[in-house]
Amino acid sequence: MANAREIQNRIDSIRDTMKITRAMYMMSSMKLRKAKQKLENTEPYFTSLQEQIKDILYHYPDMQHLYFDNRNKDMTETVKKKGFVIVTGDKGMAGAYNLNVLKKARELIDQAEDYRLFVVGELGRQFFKSQGYPVEEKFVYSANNPSIHRARMMTEYIIDLYQKEELDEVYIILTRMVNSLSEEAEIHRLLPLQTHKFLEEEMLEKIQNEEGGIDQNEARKLHDDWYLIYPSPTEVLEKLVYNYVTGFFYGALVEASACEENARMLAMQSATNNAEAMLHDLSIEYNRVRQAAITQEITEVIGGAKALKKKKQKQER
């Protein structure tokens, strides 16, 4: 059994660790609030871009475009050159946050024949390098403190490769926050955009408008009379898709940052709770050891007093 001094040292050490976990919890809580606010601020812009793309595709459903999956060339290719953008954190102590997204990414990568890896976050880069995966060396970005400028840089890098046909498909693997206690790693195809999904969403909105009492045929007829895109639908879509991808990257960085901080909050809260439980047990053990030491000292004093008394009695005889 450890002595009182050793137990006291352990208690002091745990208390020092608790100060760190509580401070990290507060910092993550503050960063999480900022990330959520950023996400809310960008949602209207991102939604507006989607609406514009859907509106153009609705009026030009047969138009083939580089950034959409309805080209004849795309349909005849048997092997796709895939790009995987994987969003991870720069450091650990965030529970299973990084583990979940890395596991999801490996499952997808191992199924691909021809691929390139674009890893966001230092922890993810080191993981894939250590496992022997070919990580893109020039693609070095972080999800920490996300910004539109960083999202644009990422977009330019990926779209340049896509336009050169060095990539046929681009996927992004990131973490979404289901609620404050649950997160889930997800896979999204970023390029080419899925034409049928945009059209399905647009048609669903039109049907809902009809149910709301709007004659959609008349509305479309009137709309087509003045619907004009300058300089051309193709060029406008190119700009819209660039901004759409930029918005998606920015949203992914913000969402990933929020998820990481939320996971770190939960991890630090769990660590603090465990430390409090350990302190409780150690306090009980310390009191027992201390009481045993006091009892032993009292016993020794009494024993010594009895010995002196006996010695004195012998001398008196």
**Average pLDDT value over all residues in the chain:** 80
Nearest to residue 247, comparing CAs of 37, 35, 50, 31? 50
Could you give the count of Cα atoms lying within 13 Å of 102 in the half-sphere of its Cβ? 19
The model's pLDDT over 265-303, given as tens digits with 9 standing for 90+, comes to 888 888 888 888 888 888 888 888 888 777 877 887 777
CA 105 and chain centroid, separation: 13
Give the span between the Cα atoms of 224 and 80, in whole angstroms: 37
Q: Is 312 exposed, middle or buried (0-12, 13-18, 19+ CB in 10 A)?
A: exposed
Check whether residue 177 and residue 278 sit in a common domain.
Answer: no
CA 67 and chain centroid, separation: 26
Check whether residue 134 and residue 252 sit in a common domain.
Answer: yes
Check whether residue 173 and residue 71 sit in a common domain.
Answer: yes
Indicate left, alpha or beta for 165 from its phi (over 0: left) and psi (-120 to 50: alpha). left
Residue 311 is part of a domain; what is its CATH number?
A: 1.10.287
Check whether residue 194 and residue 294 sit in a common domain.
Answer: no
Check whether residue 10 and residue 112 sit in a common domain.
Answer: no
Q: What domain range is 299 assigned to?
A: 4-20+270-316
The model's pLDDT over 198-215, given as tens digits with 9 standing for 90+, comes to 666 666 665 555 555 545
The model's pLDDT over 148-200, given as tens digits with 9 standing for 90+, comes to 889 999 999 999 999 888 888 899 998 887 776 777 888 888 888 877 776 66
Check whether residue 162 and residue 288 sit in a common domain.
Answer: no
Distances (CA, A) of 238 to 60, 162, 228, 231: 14, 13, 16, 12
Check whether residue 196 and residue 55 sit in a common domain.
Answer: yes
Amino acid 94: pLDDT: 75
Check whether residue 58 and residue 196 sit in a common domain.
Answer: yes
Going across the sheet that includes 182-191, the strands are 114-120, 81-87, 169-179, 182-191
* Radius of gyration for the chain, computed over Cα atoms and rounded to the nearest angstrom: 32
Rounded to an integer, the average pLDDT of 12-26 is 85
Report the number of distinct structural domains present in the chain: 2
Structure tokens that stand for 275 in this block: 């430390």
Check whether residue 48 and residue 133 sit in a common domain.
Answer: yes
Q: What angle do CA 156, 158, 159 make, to 5 degrees?
A: 65
Nearest to residue 83, comparing CAs of 170, 166, 158? 170
Check whether residue 236 and residue 95 sit in a common domain.
Answer: yes
State what percent of residues in the chain have pLDDT above 90.
8
The model's pLDDT over 47-64, given as tens digits with 9 standing for 90+, comes to 888 788 877 777 777 777
CA 127 and chain centroid, separation: 16
Check whether residue 86 and residue 214 sit in a common domain.
Answer: yes
- Residues 162/217, Cβ–Cβ less than 8 Å: no
Residue with tokens 């020039």: 138
pLDDT at 220 > cutoff 80: no
Confidence of residue 84 (pLDDT cuts 50, 70, 90): very high
Least reliable range by pLDDT among 76-80, 82-86, 94-98, 189-193: 76-80
CA 151 and chain centroid, separation: 16
Confidence of residue 241 (pLDDT cuts 50, 70, 90): confident
Nearest to residue 14, comparing CAs of 261, 281, 267? 281
Residue 164 is part of a domain; what is its CATH number?
A: 3.40.1380.10
Check whether residue 33 and residue 139 sit in a common domain.
Answer: yes
Which amino acid, 300? E
Which residue did the predictor score with more confidence, 246 or 226?
A: 246
